[in-house]
Amino acid sequence: MMFIPTVLVIAGAPLVAAHFKITYPTWRADSLSETKNYSQWSYPCGGVPDFVGNRTEWPIEGGAVALTLHHPWTYLWINIGLGDAVTNFNMSLTPELMNVSGRGDFCLHDMIVPMDIIDGTNASIQVVTSGGGDGGEGSALYNCADIVLRKGIQIPNGVCKNASTMSLTMLGDGWTQPLTANGTGNATTTVTSVVTVTATATAKSNSAVGGTVEGVAFALVMGLACVFAAIMGI
């Protein structure tokens, strides 16, 4: 099991206006509200405390996380922690580094908690984005959604959809995620690019992503820098 660290701090990273929203499961609170003292730059949940919102029933057998993204490109991590008031999001639902291109509706489906879960277990999902392309490269944004894990339920029809402008690249070979919707009729399908980067990679052309291995390796280095640079104040 791979856990993606969730404290992303890049010294001197500029603040940007573009944020993101969790549309499913229902986010803890509207962290974009101007009437609340919330900030999506605040770890771990955008400044929204526990017990503010309602819990969404989420399938143990494979749930979905639907977002509205406002940046032209985004590094994305989705973590989960078990309990009523989670202090440690110590499991990753996205075990590979993900780069999402495009603005609008974006959904990942068939996401399974990487351990045995008892029906009715409370948990919280944490979504972390980093990157941007609007001058906000390196800054991290956070949102959370509180859930109760249930057996035998399905993702509601119509909530998992992807805009036609969306594409997804995962730098690794341990996990794939085609951008299709589970049981919805109003979603578009986007091809997933899965790239394996090795230490011996050369500058040969890589048609799967329309670029070069050097470019992919650079993206991987930049993504890992966002994860590890200055973690815990280093």
Rg (Cα) of the chain, in Å, rounded?
A: 17
**What are the per-10-residue average pLDDT scores of the chain (234 residues)?**
43 51 95 87 94 94 94 92 93 89 93 93 96 65 96 94 91 68 43 36 29 34 37 31
- Say how far apart CA 72 and CA 176 lie, in whole Å: 22
* Cβ-proximal residues to 122 (8 Å cutoff; 6+ apart), any chain: 55, 82, 83, 84, 146, 147, 148, 149
For residue 149 the two structure tokens come to 């894990």
pLDDT of residue 23: 96
pLDDT of residue 173: 65
pLDDT of residue 132: 67
pLDDT of residue 183: 42
**Domain range summary for the chain, segments of one domain joined by +:** 20-233
pLDDT of residue 214: 32
Strand partners, 101: 73, 167
Residue with tokens 């993101």: 20
pLDDT of residue 228: 34
Contacts of 193-196 spanning 24+ positions with Cβ under 8 A: 193/167, 193/168, 193/169, 194/169, 194/170, 195/169, 195/170, 195/171, 196/172
Question: Considering only CA atoms, which of 52, 64, 63, 1 is closest in space to residue 27?
Answer: 52
- For residue 199, give the 3-state DSSP assignment: coil
DSSP structure string for 44-90: TTTTPPTTSSPPEEEETT-EEEEEEE-SSEEEEEEEEEESSS-S---
- Say how far apart CA 137 and CA 67 lie, in whole Å: 19
- 155-176: burial string, b at 16+ Cβ within 10 Å, e else: beeebbbbbeebbbbbbbeeee
Q: What is the chain's length?
A: 234
Region 20-233: CATH code:
2.60.40.10
For residue 191 the two structure tokens come to 């091809």
Report pLDDT digits (tens) over 17-29: 558 999 999 999 9
